[in-house]
Chain A
Amino acid sequence: MQITLEVDKCIGSGSCEMLAPEVFEVGEDGLAELLDATPGSEMESKCRAAEESCPTQAISVEV
């Protein structure tokens, strides 16, 4: 799975790190960071939930 994060769209809602903390973290600067850009397929459900919960569509998940 390939996760893309367009960090300039991030508004620091924290939704992604709440739903998939293994993959996303909001860093010191208040913006989301990818901890793992290519997580295994067992993470798909959590990553999809994060993608759908991002208020500015900064996250995309490709399988």
Chain B
Amino acid sequence: MKEIVVVGASLAGLRICQNLRRANFEGNLTLVGAEKHLPYDRPPLSKTMLSSEQDPGELTLVSDSELAELNLNLILGSPATRLDTAARAVTVGDEKIFYDGLIIATGARARKLLKTDDMDGIHTLRTIEDSLAIRSALHSSSSVVIVGAGFIGSEVAAAARHHGCEVSIIEAGGAPLMRGLGLEVGSACGQLHESHGVNLRVGVQVQDFYGSQTVEEVQLSDGSRIAADLVVVGVGATPNTEWLNDSGLTIDDGVVCDASLNAGIPGVYAAGDVARVPNQWMGGGPLRTEHWTTATEHAALAAKNLLQPADSTPYDSVPFVWSDQYEDRIQIAGDTGGFDEVSFLIGSGDEEAFVVGYRKGEHLAGVMALNSMRPFVQYRRLLMARGQWSQALDLAQEMDG
């Protein structure tokens, strides 16, 4: 293999290049990115960037010296617009870049609500620019409305309270984080917001925004209106696959891959938020994940499997995600969706620290821990060993005693 092209210059794209070079790939390596920045880290965009005056330069994921060592043909600020799998070429601007191996790592972008582009003061959060704009607005805003109580919305709500703003969260589901964690645990997470003075409104939708040039009021589906000088919409992300529409690859909520991250054509792989990949540990069909650790694991595996297709390894990992809100830390491992039973293993929903277990059949499928780093590590290990539910209960007793 002489020419490898990696499209998408963020976490997954950079990690792919680092892994390829570490595996002694000495050919030409091109990294194409739509953003003008060097690859940077997104989790701080909704955390330390908003709660402090952190310099965005600190988020860069690669030092100048390492970048020089990687010896990349780095094209930033210019998106790939087309993939021709017959000619093995990626179009960037007026140029065609030919490849022997291609890894797609174009990630996802924040989903928007209709009409939100017409009015100032309504933001989504995915990039450095978004984060800086929200940070600056937080300094001058008094009433902040967050649409969607997922991780990003919850973290922005916490930051807005830190700035002393009045904060309302509008969540269409029955509780925050409900899609990922279920109603009961989501409700416990809702208490975090309420105890910090946030007006949490569940089971209602945003119907319209009012204001002349800048947003002034948000109209809800129950007829009520809330004053707002800043709105942050956190309603999920859409994979960046439009540039692949006529490539012949299977696109269905992401680039559909097999367990080796191969996208259906020899030499073409995908990784990170854009990839829909079966995870052997989870069982079942291809899944798209938006987790930091998944992006790095995909990156390492896609690089390896591209270089050694005969010796391909399937993706097999216990999913992990974390979130920092207020002074609280949430850690989640394993599969917390589609469970048979959910129960508090340690503590209860009214406490400031607890661990929740998710049971599927006889097995512990997933755990969610609030401010419980110590037990979390034990449960993460139990998940890796595909432990039984009874072992999870025993562990809880041991740790309580």
Docked pose: A26 CA to B297 CA in angstroms: 19
Task: Provide the B318-329 mask, 1 if CB < 8 A to any CB of A, else 0.
Answer: 001010000001
**Interface size of A as a range:** 10 to 19
Chain B residue nearest in CB terms to A56 = B43
Q: Decide if B377 is an interface residue (CB 8 Å cutoff).
A: yes
Residue on B nearest A15 in the bound complex, by CB = B293
**Contacting residues of chain A (6-39) with chain B, CB-CB under 8 angstroms:** 11-15, 26-31
B331 interface neighbour in A11, A15, A45, A56, Cβ under 8 Å: A11
Decide yes or no whether B41 CB sits under 8 A from chain A.
yes
Residue in contact with B320 in the complex, picked from A14, A28, A48, A52, CB distance below 8 Å: A14
Q: Is A1 an interface residue (CB 8 A)?
A: no
- How many interface residues does B have (CB within 8 Å)? 22
Are A52 and B380 touching (Cβ within 8 A)?
A: no
Proximity string of chain B (3-22) to chain A, C-beta cutoff 8 Å, 1 when within and 0 when not: 00000000000010011001
Q: Is B373 an interface residue (CB 8 A)?
A: yes
A52 to B373, CA, bound (A): 22
Contact A55 B373 (CB under 8 A): no
Given contacts A55-B43, A57-B41, contact A48 B373 (CB under 8 A): no
Could you tell me which residues of chain A, from 41 to 63, have a CB within 8 Å of some CB in chain B? 45, 48-49, 52-53, 55-57
B296 at interface, CB cutoff 8 A: yes
Among A12, A29, A45, A53, find the residue whose CB has the most chain B CB atoms closer than 10 A. A12
With a cutoff of 8 Å between Cβ atoms, the chain A residues found around residue B374 in the complex are 28-30
Distance in angstroms between the alpha carbons of A30 and B370 in the assembled complex = 13
Q: Which of B22, B296, B372, B377 has the most CB of A within 10 A?
A: B377
Q: How far is the CB of B401 from chain A (nearest CB, A)?
A: 15
Contact B300 A49 (CB under 8 A): yes
- Contact: A52 with B18, CB < 8 Å? yes
Give the distance to chain B from A21, nearest Cβ to Cβ, in Å.
Answer: 12
Contact A11 B322 (CB under 8 A): yes
Given contacts A11-B322, A26-B377, A28-B374, 11 further A-B contacts (CB under 8 A): A12-B331, A12-B380, A14-B377, A14-B380, A15-B296, A31-B373, A49-B22, A53-B300, A55-B293, A56-B43, A57-B41
**Chain A residues packing against B (C-beta within 8 Å):** 11-15, 26-31, 45, 48-49, 52-53, 55-57
Interface, chain B (partner A; CB < 8 A): 15, 18-19, 22, 41, 43, 292-293, 296-297, 300, 320, 322, 329, 331, 372-377, 380
